[in-house]
Amino acid sequence: MLIRKGNFLKLILVGVLLVCLSARAAALRAPETVAAEFYGWYLQTLDADQDPLSDRYDRLNAYVAKPLVDQLVKRLQEQKAAAGDYFLQSQRIHGAWLRGRVQAVTLRRQARSADVLVTLDGDGDAKHEVVLTMVLDNGTWKIRHVNRAALDAAESSISRAAI
């Protein structure tokens, strides 16, 4: 089989392009993977008696969409009385959550958004669940909204309010 010089270069370029696209697709982590990683880090940070928003701001930005970070910072600056922890959607933090397992499962996924159920599995009674709305931001899944309430399948995750 003869391959002309020009065709050979085209064939090489197509091969390189396919390898690059495959690598990028493989590098895109699933939303449930990012959610579980975030909550593992978040709970460790709280357990170390640090504030993820002020003490670990850069790391928080790796997991949380900028509009949500901006809203949380604004709320902190205005000294509004917080109704509990936003990411846990709870008035208090159970010690069992800090040392328990974090599980995440994607409930619904669209091109640029996903709803993820996160379960903090402490000791039996300490089981706690939140639903995240995540958005694809520059190739990375990020948290846009956290809700304690059950997810209504007919409701659009993007149309819900951010906080």
Which of 21-25, 44-48, 114-118 shows the lowest mean pLDDT across its residues?
21-25
β partners of residue 128 = 120
Q: What is the pLDDT of residues 77-97, one digit of tens each?
A: 887 656 689 999 998 888 888
What SS3 class is residue 50? coil
Q: Does the pLDDT value for residue 2 go beyond 70?
A: no
Average model confidence (pLDDT) across the chain: 80
Residue 99 φ/ψ region, left for φ over 0, alpha for ψ in the -120 to 50 degree band, beta for the rest? alpha
The domain locations on the chain are 30-147
CATH 3.40.190.10 fits 30-147, yes or no: no
- Judge whether 146 and 89 are in contact, CB under 8 Å: yes
Alpha carbons 108 and 77: distance in angstroms, whole number: 34
Q: Does the pLDDT value for residue 160 go beyond 50?
A: no
Q: What is the DSSP letter of 44?
A: H
Confidence grade of residue 1 (pLDDT, cut at 50, 70, 90): low
